Structure 1
Amino acid sequence: MKRMSGVLLAAMLLLGKLQAQQVSIIPQPAKLEVLSGHFLINAAVSLQYNEPALLKPVADWFKAAIADVSGIRLSTQPNAARRIVLQLTTPVKPTDESYTLDVSANLITIKAKSYGGIFYGMQSVLQTLPAIRTNALLQVPCMRVQDAPRFGWRGMHLDVSRHFFGPEVIKQYIDLMATYKMNTFHWHLVDDQGWRIEIKKYPKLTSVGAWRVDQNDKVWGSRPQAKAGETPTYGGYYTQAQLKEIVAYARQRNVTIVPEIEMPGHVASAIAAYPELSCTQQPQLPLTGGDYTNMSSNYCAGNDSVFTFLQDVLTETMAIFPSTYIHIGGDEVDKGPWKKCARCQQRMQQQGLKNEEELQSYFIQRIEKFVVSKGRKMIGWDEILEGGLAPEATVMSWRGEAGGIEAAKMNHDVVMTPGSPCYFDHYQAGPEGEPRAIGGMNTLQKVYSYEPIPAELPADKARYVLGAQANLWTEYITTAEHVEYMVLPRMLALAEVVWSPKETRDWQGFNQRLQPHFRAFEQKGLHYSKGNFTVNIKPVSANGQVQVQLSTEAMNGAIYYSTDGSEPNVTSQRYTSPFTLQQSAVVKAVTVIQGEVMGVKAASQSFVLHKAVGSAVQYVHPVSRYYQADGLNSLTDGIRGMHAVGKFWHGFSGKDLVATVDLGSSKTIQQVTLGCLQRYNDWIFLPQSVMVEYSIDGQSFTTLGTVSNTVSSNEKASIIKDFTVKAAAVKARYVRVTAKVIDACPKGHSGEGKVGWLFADEIIVE
């Protein structure tokens, strides 16, 4: 028998890969083999299933889905020549969501050990069919699929407190999740600006706490507080009947709803309804936005009636939601009121608590005991680690991954949802031309590249990572269309991250499979981001030289650029490889697809060549892990920081910046500049002063000069300010820059009295 040639084998492997890509299932199945032929769905096809008590809901759902795209009503004839068979195998394992799917010309068989597995097999079938009703034949490609999720927690969150979305919007959100095999809906029902769940024992929670004065025409952080006599008309809530209907709707689609009842902070809505729950017990009107001046937003931890209230609320909540987990929030608690509250201080004394962090831990642990007594589990944001973690708590890590790592090392389950890249209220493109967002930049590729198990986590602790979740906070999102736009297509990227095997993930393959889904979104009238066309301009600095790398996420996108500040177009220089700058320049670049410049505005970045470019930098206080920019030498990479917070700035929380630059050899210097940022609403403030010192040996330093800040910390506009020290020329190899952080957030600020941030970039030596 002849051996197959290497060329022929390679060609066959390539063909198999191309066939698999033509079956554009997202998330990518663990194993997918495409065969020749297809299964035709028409009125002669029969849908059959065993275990009717368990599978009838999912079979009914599938029949309705087929009828929706075709008008075809599947029969249940047992002897039909062509059948779709759903087979629940034994023993049934409800948490095992794996499935096998076999499609031949006359038979589709879906086998699984759980309802969820059967459901996901059907979702894979549906993704091969038209998205809306047409006259096209319903042809399912013949294939074999063996599939299973990588993680058990595949989550999407939605904040309905800042802006209320009706039941039909919630159902559509659940449908989108289910289509892409996401199984956990974290429903943020309670926060400062709105209480959205009916609690029959406390009717004022919704009659008062669910409504606020309508100021949607103003930016969230700049909305004035409500005044007596103004009518609160904006808001809404869900009745318990509506909630139970949505729970059943989600269950049919294998989605578990985890309700969040926020505590002990972020509860100004509850306090507006029942002022006696706060430390001050003073009446207040519902919050309109982000101005917390003289507003109470914490429950009083020293008041036993608060715990009675919360147990009543949780009892009614658990009667509605059968989920194992109940989310209790626990984030961003302003402990200032507790410090001034006699009852809270008495509680600390009685319980032997050393500080308010331990008082928060007492609060959370007391609630956990109640939740556990009802046969449920408690989950909270990573602040519940402060003061000591409750014994059985699960941690949702949002402030980076540090909280999740810490909890997993303590053998606690964790869900990873770091702001970068899992906050979908951040920009995904632009930001020019994009709807206003809270800030940050989490692009589709950034989401797709996420790895939920941190590299720093010991291998034997990885099992405590339940999965990952994306969060959609709605300070800037007021419509269902905007919700769709912010989650599509990023949800699909995260779905593949948490479902597909890590080793099979492939950005280019995902991008190709994504294209038919874009068409499906359009056919269904769903709003989505068509792509991040903004070119990423990245510096690579070393040995005093600056190279520029350009990249685009856009599929089949070409890049054209200029270095003289002019607007690039298709006649400009086409980018093929990194290029070296010989002098300071403004680089601009655009993505071009099929001869058309994409996006609204060219990406632009200023490069400043100076004597410290490419030099090593050492810090006395480490850079915040959340604001590393492009690495430890970002202060000398030749790029100036711009108004985007997360891009090129190094951040320091409550610590001075003390950075020493090694110029590599003795050089003549006479001017040093440090660029700094102020973003009032982000708690980022200019330093009080900047001092520059120089040295030959790195041991003995002489002051070159000091410059003080002249801009008020209460200036709310985004400001970039250069602090420049100029003196007579001196010889130096080492330059040390000290930027003194402000003592605390200024009076009247939402973080008044708390530590602020210092953001810096670049150290320019001339």
Structure 2
Amino acid sequence: MKKQLLILLILLCPFLLVARQNVSIIPQPVSLEVHSGSFIIDENTSIQFNATQDELKEAADFFAAAVRTISAYDLPYQLKKAKTIELKLEEIESIGKEGYLLDVTPQNIRLRANDKAGIIYGMQSLLQLLPVIRTNAVLEIPCLSVTDYPRFQWRGMHLDVSRHFFGPEVVKEYIDLMASYKLNTFHWHLVDDQGWRIEIKKYPKLTDVGAWRVDQNHLEWSDRPQAKPGEEPTYGGYYTQEQIKEIIDYAAERNITIVPEIEMPGHVASAIASYPELSCTQKTQLPLTGGDYSNMSSNYCAGNEEVYHFLEDVLSEVIDLFPSTYIHIGGDEVNKGPWKECERCQARMKEEKLKDENELQSYFITRMEKFIISKGRKMIGWDEILEGGLAPEATVMSWRGEAGGIEAAKMKHDVVMTPGNPCYFDHYQAGPEGEPVAIGGFNTLKKVYAYEPIPEELTAEEAHFALGAQANVWTEYITTAEHLEYMVLPRMVALAEVVWTPKENKDWDSFNVRLQNQFRAYEQKGLHYCPGNYTVNIKPKSENGKLKVELSTEILNGEVYYTLDGSEPTLQSEKYTTPIEINSSVVLKASTVLYGKVKGYKPAEQNFVMHQAIGRAVEYTNPVSPYYQADGPNTLTDGVRGTEAVGKFWHGFSDKSLIATIDLGETKTIQSIALGCLQKYRDWIFLPESVTFEVSTDGKSFAEIESLKNPVDINAPVALHDFKTEFAAQKVRYIRVTAKNNVCPPGHNGAGKTAWIFADEIVVN
């Protein structure tokens, strides 16, 4: 009997698997069981709930409206019908806030939760199982049982409407997408240098002047000339307070809280164009058109008392509009140079006994926090608010990697993790060849899905301060609703599963299978989305003088074909099965193949250079920036040459020089050493001022071989350069390379400040 039962289960297993896969819910619920049968919504279906509970009436309205858009059925309430959709609020300790219990049988859908949020989230799960457009298809929901609740309380998406204004209908569409995947916090970036987007009745010039700029959308963001007197500012827009109230209500119906961001003390050129007296120079200026900040004021004057009165007035109107617990004050990328030259700022520092401009920024932020707290709200800001000392009750949004969030959590402050890698959705997600233009970077769907919002550096107690995670969409290069959709879909979906689903329930393969239904839904709705990153990931691994390469594709059911002679991969090329050993200098090219077709705009390509330091350990006198780790400590000896892409295969150093020492493992005869470096003017990355090469036989006493000055024009937009020294052959075991930081040149946004050094390889022959 047992043997017959086992055979039956084996025969049924494929059918059970198909049934489970057909129940495609994102984010993956905590628990999901599929049963036989289905519930069909038709004219014999009604919605039942406690009529005295207004939140259930609102939830019923939401679900009935959604069903009405895809069918002819107008679901009645409270009528006795053969089949019911029952909504119930009750105390269920096991699922907490926002959780829900869902049970579907052929005659009844029973949805229970502690609050309206849980009811709406259960409805979103049901809606994912129905068609997305009006159809004659049967509205069939498989019988199932779901227990579900979120992992994190902050599940966010950000949208910058300052660089490019998006109207209320686009914002609502964005909110709808968020709600579909149970995201609950919309960070609305309403103020920045290039546009003030919120009506402030006490200061009408903020929108009369600060919301409009000269239209130069046909030019590269960083190349746009500043506006000239007499040019008409026609590009922009703003939200009236009535429009904002409507959007807040719209979001609330979908359990989304809107957190407004009102930038300070930097990124406010739009406010200064409107009211020049708010800056240190108090000089008149026109609204910024793009990324050229030459001779422009973009900070409030921290020594001017009128600035604080102005901001208190602004925040009072903002707080009256937005019911959110948090008010975001920005606080990032403040150019403190003007404060150093400002008599009022210096007097303020002296009066408050502040030792430097970092503490002046902390004074500014702390003062604004006191005002926000006096209004019954909490302040949140980017991780630069840590500089000079963190305001007493501030919450930190960590964007420059995770370091700021880790520091804040260890100080027992709440944090929201939103590191540029992988949470900046203005970065490329595929290609970049063949993709819509982006600001740079490379954050693929798989990188987003693999993200863990709780850093390993935090203890279990400290981890409680991590509220969750958020993705940011900056819009210097995003000018249309279609482009915006493309940049967030489907990465928004991956983030939703990261912040909702229990860590142990996440599964990349399962997610990809479930994602296919979402793709079909996007096509039916006419939404723009990225079908996937067809670019093959090339991962080198060097150890003990040997170099191996792993190839992988993110595409479901994809295969990888490659060549080592620089030719384009075809179906006749070598199929990747195991890591490839590289024994000589080669150009590797690899493509994803899906269902017998080579996919992608062009193959992934990597130049490997074999030399005598391959796989050897590197010691750094000054640490590599945590934001630019490339492939880890052996990046300078992995045989991989960097490209113009900033985020891959480059080690970054700021403030302090690159000083790297290599142990060749044994004494070798060498006659040349080279250091590969990158210059990218726009990103504050410049070739070193000089590079010095030294050698040793014992690792203690080093002799200088040569010191080379930078021969490349410091104003060149992009440059790849090898600093190379050649000498008479000699025996050495240790090599030390020192690259001295340059400074940003005159006319650059960071003029006079220390530049980044980016290095990719120390080539030894």
Instruction: State the TM-score, normalizing by the size of structure 2.
Output: 0.98
Written as runs of structure 1 = structure 2, the 5 A alignment for 1:275-674 is 275-674=276-675
The 8 Å contact of residues 100 and 121 in structure 1, kept in 2 or not, is answered as yes
| Structure 1 pair 97–727 and aligned structure 2 pair: CA distance change class (3 A) | same
The 8 Å contact of residues 662 and 734 in structure 1, kept in 2 or not, is answered as yes
CA distance in 2, matches of 1:93, 1:589: 49
SS at match of 1:288: coil
> Which residue matches 1:37?
37
The 8 Å contact of residues 694 and 704 in structure 1, kept in 2 or not, is answered as yes
Q: Does residue 739 of structure 2 align to residue 739 of structure 1?
A: yes
SS at match of 1:368: helix
AA matched with 1:733:
R
CA distance in 2, matches of 1:654, 1:52: 60
The 8 Å contact of residues 654 and 758 in structure 1, kept in 2 or not, is answered as no
CA distance in 1, matches of 2:433, 2:546: 30
The 8 Å contact of residues 545 and 616 in structure 2, kept in 1 or not, is answered as yes
SS at match of 2:601: coil
> Which residue matches 1:764?
763
SS at match of 2:315: helix
AA matched with 1:241:
E
AA matched with 1:70:
S
CA distance in 1, matches of 2:386, 2:11: 55
The 8 Å contact of residues 607 and 639 in structure 1, kept in 2 or not, is answered as yes
CA distance in 1, matches of 2:203, 2:3: 78
Question: Displacement, 1:582?
Answer: 2.0
Question: Displacement, 1:353?
Answer: 0.9
The 8 Å contact of residues 190 and 261 in structure 1, kept in 2 or not, is answered as yes
Q: Does residue 191 of structure 2 align to residue 190 of structure 1?
A: yes
Q: Does residue 146 of structure 2 align to residue 141 of structure 1?
A: no
| Structure 1 pair 309–567 and aligned structure 2 pair: CA distance change class (3 A) | same
AA matched with 1:456:
E
**Cα-to-partner distance string for 1:338-377 (whole Å, 9 max, x where unaligned):** 1111111111111111111111111111111111111111
CA distance in 2, matches of 1:2, 1:172: 55
Question: Displacement, 1:706?
Answer: 2.2
AA matched with 2:628:
Y
SS at match of 1:421: helix
The 8 Å contact of residues 44 and 81 in structure 2, kept in 1 or not, is answered as yes
CA distance in 2, matches of 1:396, 1:4: 58
Identity of aligned residues (%): 66
Written as runs of structure 1 = structure 2, the 5 A alignment for 1:665-704 is 665-704=666-705
Question: Displacement, 1:53?
Answer: 1.6
The 8 Å contact of residues 93 and 114 in structure 1, kept in 2 or not, is answered as no
CA distance in 1, matches of 2:624, 2:37: 58
**Cα-to-partner distance string for 1:574-600 (whole Å, 9 max, x where unaligned):** 111111122110000000111111110
CA distance in 2, matches of 1:709, 1:333: 30
CA distance in 2, matches of 1:355, 1:656: 24
The 8 Å contact of residues 705 and 727 in structure 1, kept in 2 or not, is answered as no
SS at match of 1:681: helix
CA distance in 2, matches of 1:202, 1:509: 52
**Cα-to-partner distance string for 1:623-646 (whole Å, 9 max, x where unaligned):** 111111101011100111111111
Instruction: State the TM-score, normalizing by the size of structure 1.
Output: 0.98
| Structure 1 pair 692–91 and aligned structure 2 pair: CA distance change class (3 A) | closer
> Which residue matches 1:257?
258
Structure 1 runs not aligned, ≥5 long: none
Structure 2 runs not aligned, ≥5 long: none
| Structure 1 pair 93–38 and aligned structure 2 pair: CA distance change class (3 A) | closer
> Which residue matches 1:88?
89
Q: Does residue 105 of structure 2 align to residue 128 of structure 1?
A: no
Question: Displacement, 1:740?
Answer: 1.3
> Which residue matches 2:46?
46
Question: Displacement, 1:152?
Answer: 0.5
| Structure 1 pair 12–655 and aligned structure 2 pair: CA distance change class (3 A) | farther
AA matched with 2:763:
I
The 8 Å contact of residues 49 and 78 in structure 2, kept in 1 or not, is answered as no
AA matched with 1:182:
L
CA distance in 2, matches of 1:692, 1:145: 64
AA matched with 2:547:
V
| Structure 1 pair 658–398 and aligned structure 2 pair: CA distance change class (3 A) | same
CA distance in 1, matches of 2:690, 2:47: 74
Written as runs of structure 1 = structure 2, the 5 A alignment for 1:98-177 is 98-177=99-178
SS at match of 2:137: coil
Question: Displacement, 1:693?
Answer: 1.1
The 8 Å contact of residues 94 and 116 in structure 1, kept in 2 or not, is answered as no
> Which residue matches 1:726?
726
AA matched with 1:560:
Y
CA distance in 2, matches of 1:674, 1:735: 12
| Structure 1 pair 608–120 and aligned structure 2 pair: CA distance change class (3 A) | same
CA distance in 2, matches of 1:92, 1:210: 48
AA matched with 2:20:
A
Question: Displacement, 1:498?
Answer: 0.1
| Structure 1 pair 55–451 and aligned structure 2 pair: CA distance change class (3 A) | same
RMSD of aligned residue pairs (Cα, Å): 1.5
SS at match of 1:601: strand
AA matched with 2:653:
F
AA matched with 1:451:
E
AA matched with 2:523:
E
Question: Displacement, 1:95?
Answer: 7.6
The 8 Å contact of residues 157 and 472 in structure 2, kept in 1 or not, is answered as yes
The 8 Å contact of residues 93 and 113 in structure 1, kept in 2 or not, is answered as no
CA distance in 2, matches of 1:89, 1:392: 34
| Structure 1 pair 114–77 and aligned structure 2 pair: CA distance change class (3 A) | closer
CA distance in 2, matches of 1:376, 1:16: 50
CA distance in 2, matches of 1:193, 1:13: 58
CA distance in 2, matches of 1:394, 1:10: 53
The 8 Å contact of residues 539 and 639 in structure 1, kept in 2 or not, is answered as yes
The 8 Å contact of residues 273 and 286 in structure 2, kept in 1 or not, is answered as yes
CA distance in 2, matches of 1:295, 1:95: 50
AA matched with 2:22:
Q
Question: Displacement, 1:78?
Answer: 3.1
Question: Displacement, 1:25?
Answer: 0.3
Question: Displacement, 1:262?
Answer: 0.5
| Structure 1 pair 621–312 and aligned structure 2 pair: CA distance change class (3 A) | same
The 8 Å contact of residues 94 and 115 in structure 1, kept in 2 or not, is answered as no
Q: Which moved more, 1:7-16 or 1:255-264?
A: 7-16
**Cα-to-partner distance string for 1:281-333 (whole Å, 9 max, x where unaligned):** 00000000000000000111111111111111111111111111110101111
AA matched with 1:45:
T
Question: Displacement, 1:21?
Answer: 2.4
User: Number of paired residues?
Assistant: 764
Q: Which moved more, 1:652-661 or 1:116-125?
A: 652-661
CA distance in 2, matches of 1:391, 1:468: 22
Q: Which moved more, 1:8-17 or 1:664-673?
A: 8-17
Q: Which moved more, 1:90-99 or 1:728-737?
A: 90-99
